[in-house]
Amino acid sequence: MTRLFLSFDLPDEAANELRHLQNNFSGKHVKSFHLTLKFFGNVYDDDIPFIKDALLKLKFPKFEAKLGSVGKFSHAAWVSLEPTDVITRLHEQIDNLLSARFPKDERFSPHVTFVRFEENDDIKDLKVKPLCFAVEHITLYKSTLKPTGPVHEPLFTRSLGF
């Protein structure tokens, strides 16, 4: 079985802004910045061609995304991505294309985690530059968990646009 997720990566300028925010935390800093559109978990290897074929049917335009506000879950800090409605539509289309073999997600919130922490660190007064960037493709990644952190290997990239 192979652990998979589908995402789009943040460009260097946006990733550098998140690295700057990490300096406010002593927790485990995320090294790879991406928005996860679909987390598959462990799948059978014979499901991978189905995923690739489904993604080839995706018809979604390229779009501009923007770093939004800082938020947190109990032990992680994240930055929202905008426009929420466009990114959510992309997620819904992907979910629909994959629904024959994979359950639809119950919830989806466009965000990028940038740090995980043990204690309840405070995020108030943290601001992020509202950097804009083009989202032109999505990538299916194999994720291997290692003691030093996850290793992500791209398996398939699908360009957006008609």
What pLDDT, on a 0 to 100 scale, did the predictor assign at position 119? 67
Domain definitions of the chain by residue range: 2-159
What pLDDT, on a 0 to 100 scale, did the predictor assign at position 120? 64
51-71 tens-digit pLDDT: 999 999 999 999 999 999 998
What pLDDT, on a 0 to 100 scale, did the predictor assign at position 53? 98
pLDDT beneath 70, residues of the chain: 119-121
What is the H or E stretch that residue 56 is in? helix 48-56
**Per DSSP, what are the bridge partners of residue 63?**
135
Contacts of 5 (CB under 8 A, 6+ apart): 36, 38, 39, 40, 140, 141, 143
Name the architecture of domain 2-159.
Answer: Alpha-Beta Complex (3.90)
What pLDDT, on a 0 to 100 scale, did the predictor assign at position 114? 93
Nearest residue to 16 (alpha-carbon basis) of 118, 112, 122: 112
- Give the helix, strand, coil percentages of the chain, each rounded to 5: 25, 45, 35
Output the six-digit token pair for 25.
Answer: 């935390």
Burial environment of residue 56 by CB neighbours within 10 A (0 to 12, 13 to 18, 19 or more): exposed
Contacts of 23 (CB under 8 A, 6+ apart): none
What pLDDT, on a 0 to 100 scale, did the predictor assign at position 75? 82
